């Protein structure tokens, strides 16, 4: 896994402060001078579900505490440690770099709802790839919004990577086809394709996304090699329905969760992971290039539980 910039854990912990504080306040309220009895366990399970962790993970935390500490006094620190252990165990098998080695060009399509941070994530990954000596090509496939096309262009400049773009309203599938042709002709080893943000309940927009994927496959049957779903960390449990819709439409292969700074809903990543078992590539805690980092299950779980590194 790529090395994290020193201090990333402290920034992650700060970013998840609202999530960990909400959890911590609930735990403290339940367990101040109180034995771990059935009623306390039920309250804890409800608090964890309210923090968007999801019922299965919440049940595992309470089961672990019941096994080890039932009918004894328990501290909030012990509850936090159990929470961190369960979250880490759930997410560790899904901690996975975005691997763009292999057949060239590697094609990566970014999908997600409006405002999830999809275009910015694509740009930050382009910068990282360029620094690693790769030769990425960017495709501004959100042809609905001039701002999105401009945003990809700006990231292309930052990364020193060319951008394939068209006028507003151009056919996104045709643009993706052109990007693959350009990559093959000019020797680009990675193609990063942005797509229009779409709500998961808009059938015609999802149909258009399916068309983009179909056209890519016509040009290159084994592509796209990755379909990365970018989820907004502030949407909480709604992330589950988003993941469901995009999995059906685009065969998502991995997840990036952004905007974990300042949200009380960071636990939703556990819920998505639990339900879909999708690899988690990166998490984002801010706007800067260094605020998108490879996912670490241990760091995330400890920050979420409000524990020190």
Out of 94, 124, 142, a domain closes at: 94
DSSP track, 195-263? -----TT-HHHHHHHHHHHHHHHHH-TT--SEEEEEEEGGGTTHHHHHHHHHHHHH---EEEEE--TT-
Model confidence, pTM: 0.90
Do residues 16 and 124 share a domain?
no
154 marked among binding-site residues:
no
Domain that holds residue 261: 106-295
Do residues 32 and 122 share a domain?
no
User: Which among 253, 206, 193, 262 is positioned nearest to 232, based on CA atoms?
Assistant: 262
195 marked among binding-site residues:
yes
User: Which among 128, 118, 105 is positioned nearest to 4, based on CA atoms?
Assistant: 128
Which strands sit side by side in the sheet containing 292-294, from one edge to the other?
Answer: 163-164, 136-139, 190-193, 106-111, 226-232, 254-258, 280-284, 292-294
Do residues 59 and 115 share a domain?
no
- Is the pLDDT score of 20 beyond 60? yes
Q: What integer pLDDT is reported at residue 2 of this predicted model?
A: 47
- Is the pLDDT score of 126 beyond 90? yes
114: left (phi over 0), alpha (psi -120 to 50) or beta: beta
196 marked among binding-site residues:
yes
pLDDT in tens, 36-93: 888 888 888 888 888 888 888 889 888 888 888 777 777 878 888 888 998 999 999 9
Percent of the chain with pLDDT over 70: 94
Q: What is the mean pLDDT of residues 87-111?
A: 93
192 marked among binding-site residues:
no
Do residues 51 and 139 share a domain?
no
Q: What integer pLDDT is reported at residue 235 of this predicted model?
A: 83
Is 229 part of any domain?
A: yes
Do residues 88 and 237 share a domain?
no
Out of 36, 68, 94, a domain closes at: 94
Q: What is the mean pLDDT of residues 11-17?
A: 82
- Which CATH number does the domain housing residue 31 bear? 1.20.120.140
- Is the pLDDT score of 166 beyond 90? yes
Is 256 part of any domain?
A: yes
Rounded to whole angstroms, the Cα distance separating 89 from 76 reads 20
105 near 184, Cβ under 8 Å? Answer: yes
Do residues 36 and 170 share a domain?
no
Kind and range of the H or E element at 89? helix 76-91
Rounded to whole angstroms, the Cα distance separating 63 from 60 reads 5
Residue 295, token pair as written in the block? 């996912």
SS3 90: helix
Residue 95, token pair as written in the block? 């901690």
User: Which among 142, 144, 156 is positioned nearest to 112, based on CA atoms?
Assistant: 142
15 near 261, Cβ under 8 Å? Answer: yes
- Is the pLDDT score of 125 beyond 60? yes
198 marked among binding-site residues:
yes
Do residues 179 and 120 share a domain?
yes
197 marked among binding-site residues:
yes
> Cis peptide leading into 212, omega within 30 of 0?
no
- Which CATH number does the domain housing residue 169 bear? 3.40.50.300
Is 112 part of any domain?
A: yes
pLDDT in tens, 257-288: 998 876 667 788 888 988 999 999 999 887 87
- Is the pLDDT score of 254 beyond 80? yes
101 marked among binding-site residues:
no
259 marked among binding-site residues:
yes
Is 308 part of any domain?
A: no
**Domains of the chain: total:** 2
Of the CA atoms within 13 Å of residue 129, those in its CB half-sphere come to 28
174 marked among binding-site residues:
no
pLDDT in tens, 229-244: 999 888 878 888 889 8
Q: What integer pLDDT is reported at residue 150 of this predicted model?
A: 94
160 marked among binding-site residues:
no
Is 70 part of any domain?
A: yes
119 marked among binding-site residues:
yes
DSSP track, 118-147? HHHHHHHHHHHHHHTT--EEEE---TT-HH
Out of 41, 62, 94, a domain closes at: 94
Do residues 173 and 237 share a domain?
yes
Of the CA atoms within 13 Å of residue 186, those in its CB half-sphere come to 17
Do residues 190 and 249 share a domain?
yes
Q: pLDDT higher for 20 or 108?
A: 108
- Is the pLDDT score of 196 beyond 50? yes
Is 99 part of any domain?
A: no
187 marked among binding-site residues:
no
Do residues 25 and 156 share a domain?
no
Q: pLDDT higher for 257 or 205?
A: 257
DSSP track, 157-175? HHHT--EE---TT--HHHH
Q: What integer pLDDT is reported at residue 256 of this predicted model?
A: 95
Rounded to whole angstroms, the Cα distance separating 255 from 280 reads 5
pLDDT-derived band at 192, boundaries 50, 70, 90: very high
140 marked among binding-site residues:
no
Rounded to whole angstroms, the Cα distance separating 19 from 16 reads 5
Mean pLDDT, the chain, as a whole number?
Answer: 87
114 marked among binding-site residues:
yes
- Is the pLDDT score of 6 beyond 60? no
Where does 16-75 have alpha helices with state H? 17-31, 38-50, 55-69
Do residues 128 and 148 share a domain?
yes
Do residues 125 and 222 share a domain?
yes
Rounded to whole angstroms, the Cα distance separating 259 from 294 reads 14
- Is the pLDDT score of 1 beyond 60? no
């Amino acid at each position: 896994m790529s090395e994290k910039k020193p201090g990333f854990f402290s920034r992650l912990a700060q970013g998840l402060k609202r999530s960990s504080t909400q959890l911590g306040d609930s735990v403290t309220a339940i367990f101040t001078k109180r034995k771990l009895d059935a009623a306390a366990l039920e309250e804890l399970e409800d608090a964890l579900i309210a923090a968007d962790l999801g019922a299965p993970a919440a049940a595992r935390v309470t089961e672990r505490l019941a096994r080890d500490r039932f009918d004894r006094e328990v501290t909030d620190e012990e509850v936090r440690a159990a929470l961190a252990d369960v979250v880490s165990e759930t997410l560790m098998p899904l901690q996975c770099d975005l691997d763009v080695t292999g057949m060239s060009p590697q094609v990566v399509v970014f999908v997600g709802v409006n405002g999830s941070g999809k275009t910015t994530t694509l740009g930050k990954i382009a910068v990282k790839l360029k620094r690693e000596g790769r030769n990425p090509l960017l495709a501004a496939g959100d042809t609905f919004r001039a701002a999105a096309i401009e945003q990809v262009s700006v990231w292309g400049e930052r990364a020193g990577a060319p951008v394939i773009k068209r006028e507003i309203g151009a056919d996104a599938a045709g643009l993706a086809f052109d990007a693959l042709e350009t990559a093959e002709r000019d020797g680009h080893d990675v193609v990063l394709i942005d797509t229009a943000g779409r709500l998961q309940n808009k059938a015609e927009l999802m149909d258009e996304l399916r068309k983009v994927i179909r056209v890519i496959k016509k040009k290159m049957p084994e592509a796209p090699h990755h379909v990365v779903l970018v989820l907004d960390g502030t949407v909480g449990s709604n992330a589950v329905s988003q993941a469901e819709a995009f999995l059906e439409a685009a065969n998502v292969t991995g997840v990036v969760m952004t905007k974990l700074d300042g949200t009380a809903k960071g636990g939703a990543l556990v819920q998505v992971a639990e339900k879909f078992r999708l690899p988690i590539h990166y998490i984002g805690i801010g706007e800067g290039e260094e605020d998108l980092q490879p996912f670490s299950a241990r760091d995330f779980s400890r920050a979420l539980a409000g524990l020190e590194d």
